[in-house]
Structure 1
Amino acid sequence: MTADDWRRVLDHAHAAGVTGVQLTGGEVTMHPEAPALVEYASRLGLKVEVYSNLVHMTHRPGGRRKSLVRERKINAYLGHISPPLLWDVEAEDWLILGFEVVEGRAADFTPDSTDLPLVMDALAQVGRLPLPEIARNWAETRWDRFASDTSEAELFQGDSLLYTDINPDNMMVQGRRVKVLDWAWPTRGAGFIDPALLVVQLIASGHSPASAEKWAAQLAAWRRADPRAIDAFAVANLRMSVAFSERKPDEDWLKSMVTACRSWTDYRGVTPSAAAASALPCTGCAGSTVRFSQRITPPR
């Protein structure tokens, strides 16, 4: 599509009542008309967000584009939990999703935060979402290769719709409710995985492991879970965080993730040795491309 084509898309979006756009790709900064299009959208009065990895992803399998395709497909099944998808445009190396703008602020996950009950209510609603047929083939496999063996990896399987991107930035507080943003990697798996990811985020935000698990216990999927499955996942998540921290040793947020994960496994009495925590993926476990997106917001 030409720059004029994109201007017409922006014109139509503005005329339809859209108040904001997100530009992603591919790599937005690789497009020669990107600055002009951002300026054009701004002149229309649209709120503009640009997602950039400073990497051109043309024809790359998987990655951000694949996650956007999933986000487009799942949106219709989320109801009022997430902002509705208003429009989308796909051409060549570009995919743009236009969502309803959410005015609010990121949730505060710290121990005394009054946002926590709102977050729990939103996650309880997520946990009650039925698994749509389109998600049947989205089996969760990212943690399998960090499990101790195939029998542990099987504990991560299930028929629940998983969100898997719990962090304060994705929980948008609007008055007395929370919108759950960025459904870029929904999967099908064991229902306790989302509460388990919440536990790690709460620990990273200053909670003790006991406090974090007490909050997670408000979610039905956590209460139903086999403690052995939670133990296995906690260890696999630690191994995953160690692997990514070793790959990017200058990233402080990854070090924070390792610290939070290890605090949790220490509390549960399942922390592996340093060598085991850095071990190679288990033999026979399903291989997968891991999209590691558990961001950390330091305690305020």
Structure 2
Amino acid sequence: MNRWSWDDLPETVRRAVEAEAGPVIHMGEPEAGRNSMFAAFLETTHGPVFCKGVRLDDQQARAHRHEIRVNQRLREVTADAPCLLWTIETGGWLLAGYAFVPGQHANLSPGSTHIPAVIDLVSRLADNLTPSPVPDLTPLAKKYAKFAGWGWLAERNADLLDPWEKQHLDRLVQADRDIADALNGQSLVHGDVHELNLLVADGQANLVDWAWARTGPAWVDAALLTIRLIAAGYDPADAERLVVSTWGMRRPDTSAAAVSTFAAATYGMWRRLAVQHPSPHRTGPVEAARRWTKHRPS
């Protein structure tokens, strides 16, 4: 998505932002993020603020409204996500202002000093967000049903399946059938845990960009973190040992079979998306999900 600069925004929109945040002195663009037409760190006379949004006629407007709704409740229950300060809907734009969160994107590679803070964060959020503080939220299982990958690949792109996938196709397709039961849960889960959404500073981590938040079991974000740790260089068994102590993973109702189903279904969904929408950034996570799926008990 092409980014608009501060000066590109309509004057009425800029005036509305400054009415909330204070006169803008300087604008800095974030390194990451692909779903906002405008995203910037605004240095204002009242202090720094992170502002992002889209035109109301853009297809991403719905996702931004969803994120705003989620963050309105998050600010009441946790300090581990950016505090939503204000929203603006004017001049054909929807913009939200969030408290500035200092830090750098998490380094998840073996030996990184960021990892303890990230593990603590994921564990704490699972506890604080069970049950979900956001009412009537769409279950994560619906997303997995929409993008179920293994049946789609078998029917439309069987020639792309590798020998291991063909050999275990029955198990993989069954994971797509079982994922709805595996994802039954009432926790609020972020659903998109990766390095660029994790900011670390002074031994504390923060999880940003809640546009994909849904309801599901409390272990989901720890499971997603497991895949990212594998992608960063961990052996699957070592990655699992890092997350096994998180609040969601150690709950007595957390099923090893459900986690295995999730691993396989996530691998299939990401495999499908890599075929439909090829991009270099998908290669590492897909391979990590594959390695984790092969490691998990069937």
TM-score (norm 2): 0.73
CA distance in 1 between counterparts of 2:256 and 2:45 reads 54
Are 2:97 and 1:70 aligned?
A: no
Shifted more, 182-191 versus 150-159: the winner is: 150-159
2:289 aligns with 261
Are 2:190 and 1:183 aligned?
A: no
Q: Secondary structure at the match of 2:122?
A: helix
Q: Structure 2 regions of 5+ residues with no counterpart?
A: 1-8, 149-172
Are 2:234 and 1:235 aligned?
A: no
Are 2:215 and 1:208 aligned?
A: no
The percent identity for this pair of structures is: 24
1:292 aligns with none
Are residues 245 and 45 of structure 1, via their aligned partners in 2, closer, same or farther at CA, if it must alter by over 3 Å?
A: same
2:189 aligns with 162
Q: Report the Cα offset of residue 257 of structure 1.
A: 1.8
CA RMSD of aligned residues (A): 3.6
Are residues 66 and 264 of structure 1, via their aligned partners in 2, closer, same or farther at CA, if it must alter by over 3 Å?
A: same
Shifted more, 163-172 versus 236-245: the winner is: 163-172
Q: Secondary structure at the match of 1:64?
A: helix
Does structure 1 retain, via aligned residues, the 8 Å contact 2:178–2:261?
no
Q: Report the Cα offset of residue 46 of structure 1.
A: 7.3
Are 2:219 and 1:192 aligned?
A: yes
Does structure 2 retain, via aligned residues, the 8 Å contact 1:87–1:99?
yes
1:138 aligns with 138
Q: After superposition, what is the alpha-carbon deviation per residue over 1:174-200, rounded to whole angstroms, capped at 9, x for unaligned?
A: 212112211222211112211110110
TM-score (norm 1): 0.73
Matches within 5 A, 1:75-114: 75-91=74-90, 93-114=92-113
Amino acid at match of 1:248: H
Are residues 66 and 21 of structure 1, via their aligned partners in 2, closer, same or farther at CA, if it must alter by over 3 Å?
A: farther
Matches within 5 A, 1:284-299: none
Does structure 2 retain, via aligned residues, the 8 Å contact 1:20–1:100?
no
Q: After superposition, what is the alpha-carbon deviation per residue over 1:44-91, rounded to whole angstroms, capped at 9, x for unaligned?
A: 6976878699xx771648753344343443332342111211111123
Are residues 79 and 61 of structure 1, via their aligned partners in 2, closer, same or farther at CA, if it must alter by over 3 Å?
A: closer
Q: 1 or 2, which has the higher strand percentage?
A: 2
Are 2:168 and 1:153 aligned?
A: no
- The number of equivalent residue pairs is 257
Q: After superposition, what is the alpha-carbon deviation per residue over 1:132-168, rounded to whole angstroms, capped at 9, x for unaligned?
A: 4533332212123526354442111111111112111
Are 2:37 and 1:8 aligned?
A: no
2:122 aligns with 123
Q: After superposition, what is the alpha-carbon deviation per residue over 1:191-234, rounded to whole angstroms, capped at 9, x for unaligned?
A: 22111101100001000000110011011211232111011111
Does structure 1 retain, via aligned residues, the 8 Å contact 2:179–2:265?
no
Shifted more, 5-14 versus 164-173: the winner is: 5-14
Amino acid at match of 2:244: A
Q: Structure 1 regions of 5+ residues with no counterpart?
A: 271-300
Q: Secondary structure at the match of 1:172?
A: strand
| Moved beyond 4 Å, runs of 4+ | 16-27, 41-53
2:247 aligns with 220
CA distance in 2 between counterparts of 1:42 and 1:125 reads 31
